[in-house]
Amino acid sequence: MRRIVVTGGCGFIGSNFIRLELELDPELSIVNIDKLTYAGNLANLADLQGNARYQFARGDICDKDFVTSVLRSGDIDAVVNFAAESHVDRSILDSSPFVQTNIIGTQTLLDCCRLHKIGRYVQVSTDEVYGSLGDDGKFTEETPLAPNSPYSASKASADLLVRAYVHTFDFPAVITRCSNNYGPYQFPEKLIPLFISNALKDQSLPVYGTGLNIRDWIHVLDHCRGIDAALRRGRVGEVYNFGGNSELTNLDLTYALLDALGKPRTLIRYVADRPGHDHRYAIDATKARRELGWEPQAVFAAGLRQTIDWYLANPDWIANIKSGEYRSYYEQQYGNRLT
Ligand code: NAD
Ligand code: TDX
């Protein structure tokens, strides 16, 4: 593989993926398509400025002419689609951009890739398409799709389109589904960076409901290694789950963050639950291990410490994001009463 297109590369996972790919494969060059929504940040890849193997093309994956112009610009071996509206709370406030980017955008990419006979397509999806688990069991690739939020419904819709293109057109696609990522460059609306940012300012941490919902945390670079494996070795038409084997209640995670930052638990503010809040996610990654030789490498406690240290070492990264763009769901609903 010599040249690939990555969409959504100015976001959290896409930027980590681009940096990792350029490190792993000295022969590879990457074109990054990104619309630069509120979540897209050029600072995430500032270190790649001037790198001859990296090119940025600002534009929308829903824009067929734009995508076509990028695919025509050189011999593109593969497309990896990260571009999405990614925050569940925002999808509850307004699902329109989710339907537009996550569904129409995916369909546009699929059509353009098909037309240009792109040899490989990876759809970066999420475990949220499977819905919610009770206290037992894990999601496998055979778990039926049962999305509960407008976000996860839009991601499941995109997955179904990819599946249909494989079936109908022999389109060479692979789908990956991953659990909650953490690590550097995550937009501070998501739990971990929001709580770090608030705690550093001695502001409240809004824990939804009881705080007993469970997420399976995976380091972003473990997820990126999984996508790399699926890109290079995944079987066409297959789905691969990735997870971190690190299940935690939101409350235990919040305690860990506060303890690591030396901040008191009195900063915790229990607020009304997220509507339709999924109880638990957990991934069975047996298939990825067996077929791709993939395993998560990060140990959660060490990965979390390293993540906290990154945010401590990069205060300007958060300071340069306009605060209005990451007011939490509850601040947007109920004003500023949390701070
Ligand atoms: P993010 O919100 O940090 O980044 C999304 C990026 O996509 C941004 O740079 C944004 O500008 C860009 N974008 C949005 N709409 C676009 C459009 N129409 N055209 C071009 N670019 C557009 O998201 P993330 O957390 O990095 O997630 C990346 C992908 O991984 C998403 O598809 C998400 O569903 C999936 N995923 C995320 C997680 C997680 O824990 N964050 C877990 C599993 C899967
Ligand atoms: O302020 C908060 N308080 C709170 O209790 C926020 C932002 C979240 N939460 C809870 C809700 C969830 O149970 O923390 C948990 C994690 O929330 P998010 O960081 O919003 O992630 P989640 O909703 O689990 O979805 C994430 O993982 C799967 C990503 O945002 C998705 O893009 C990905 O597909």
Q: Which CATH number fits the domain that encloses residue 327?
A: 3.90.25.10
**Are residues 125 and 206 located together in one domain of the fold?**
no
Nearest CA to ligand 1 atom 36: 126
Nearest CA-CA partner of 196 in 269, 246, 263, 266: 263
Strands, E assignment, 204-336 = 205-208, 214-216, 218-219, 239-242, 247-249, 268-271
Q: Indicate whether 287 belongs to any domain.
A: no
Query: Ligand 1 within 6 A of 37 CB?
Result: yes
**Are residues 232 and 171 located together in one domain of the fold?**
yes
Instruction: Provide the edge-to-edge strand list for the sheet that holds 239-242.
Output: 54-58, 29-34, 3-7, 78-81, 121-126, 173-178, 239-242
Task: Please provide residue 153's backbone torsions phi and psi, each rounded to the nearest 5 degrees.
Answer: -65, -40
Q: Indicate whether 285 belongs to any domain.
A: no
Of the residues 12, 33, 80, 109, which should be mutated to test ligand 1's pocket, given the most ligand atoms within 8 Å of the CB? 12
Amino acid occupying residue 167: H
**Are residues 118 and 84 located together in one domain of the fold?**
yes
**Domain residue limits at 318:** 188-215+247-280+299-334
Nearest CA to ligand 2 atom 16: 191
**Is 165 among the residues known to form the active site?**
no
pLDDT of residue 73: 87
Rounded CA gap, 339 and 56, in Å? Answer: 37
Rg of the chain over CA atoms, in angstroms?
19
List the end-to-end C-alpha distance of the chain, in Å, as a whole number.
49
**Are residues 210 and 318 located together in one domain of the fold?**
yes
Number of separate domains in the chain: 2
**Are residues 194 and 173 located together in one domain of the fold?**
no
Q: Indicate whether 339 belongs to any domain.
A: no
Chain-centroid distance, C-alpha 291: 23
Q: Which atom of ligand 2 is nearest to the CA of 278?
A: 13
**Are residues 76 and 117 located together in one domain of the fold?**
yes
Tell me which residue has tokens 């093309």.
57
Rounded CA gap, 88 and 195, in Å? Answer: 17
Nearest CA-CA partner of 269 in 197, 338, 199, 215: 338
Q: Which atom of ligand 2 is nearest to the CA of 207?
A: 5
> 13 with 181: CB under 8 angstroms?
yes
Rounded CA gap, 215 and 246, in Å? Answer: 8
pLDDT of residue 333: 62
> Within 10 Å of residue 117's Cβ, how many Cβ atoms?
9
Query: Ligand 2 within 6 A of 186 CB?
Result: no
**Are residues 226 and 319 located together in one domain of the fold?**
no
Which secondary-structure segment (H or E) carries 4?
A: strand 3-7
Nearest CA to ligand 1 atom 10: 40
Q: Judging by beta carbons within 10 Å of its beta carbon (0-12, 13-18, 19+), is residue 63 exposed, middle or buried? A: middle
Q: Indicate whether 108 belongs to any domain.
A: yes
CATH number at residue 76: 3.40.50.720
Query: Ligand 2 within 6 A of 150 CB?
Result: no
pLDDT of residue 327: 57
SS3 (DSSP) at 283: strand
**Are residues 27 and 145 located together in one domain of the fold?**
yes
Q: Indicate whether 62 belongs to any domain.
A: yes
Query: Ligand 2 within 6 A of 222 CB?
Result: no
Q: Indicate whether 313 belongs to any domain.
A: yes
From first to last of its 339 residues, what are the pLDDT tens digits of the chain?
A: 899 999 999 999 999 999 999 999 999 999 999 999 999 999 999 999 999 999 999 999 999 999 999 999 889 999 999 999 999 999 999 999 999 999 999 999 999 999 999 999 999 999 999 999 999 999 999 999 999 999 999 999 999 999 999 999 999 999 999 999 999 999 999 999 999 999 999 999 999 999 999 999 999 999 999 999 999 999 999 999 999 999 999 999 999 999 999 999 999 999 999 999 999 999 999 999 999 999 999 999 999 999 999 999 999 999 898 655 555 565 666 554 443
Rounded CA gap, 35 and 45, in Å? Answer: 15
Rounded CA gap, 114 and 116, in Å? Answer: 5
Task: Please provide residue 99's backbone torsions phi and psi, each rounded to the nearest 5 degrees.
Answer: -65, -45
Q: Which atom of ligand 2 is nearest to the CA of 195?
A: 1
Amino acid occupying residue 262: G
Structure tokens at 240: 């691969």
**Are residues 314 and 166 located together in one domain of the fold?**
no
> 186 with 193: CB under 8 angstroms?
yes
**Are residues 128 and 276 located together in one domain of the fold?**
no
Task: Please provide residue 248's backbone torsions phi and psi, each rounded to the nearest 5 degrees.
Answer: -145, 145
Query: Ligand 1 within 6 A of 152 CB?
Result: no
Q: Indicate whether 286 belongs to any domain.
A: no
Beta bridge partners of 79: 5, 121
SS3 (DSSP) at 269: strand
Q: Indicate whether 266 belongs to any domain.
A: yes
**Are residues 80 and 171 located together in one domain of the fold?**
yes
**Are residues 24 and 111 located together in one domain of the fold?**
yes
Which DSSP category does 60 fall into?
-
Collect all residues with Cβ–Cβ distance below 8 Å to 299 and sequence separation of at least 6. Answer: none
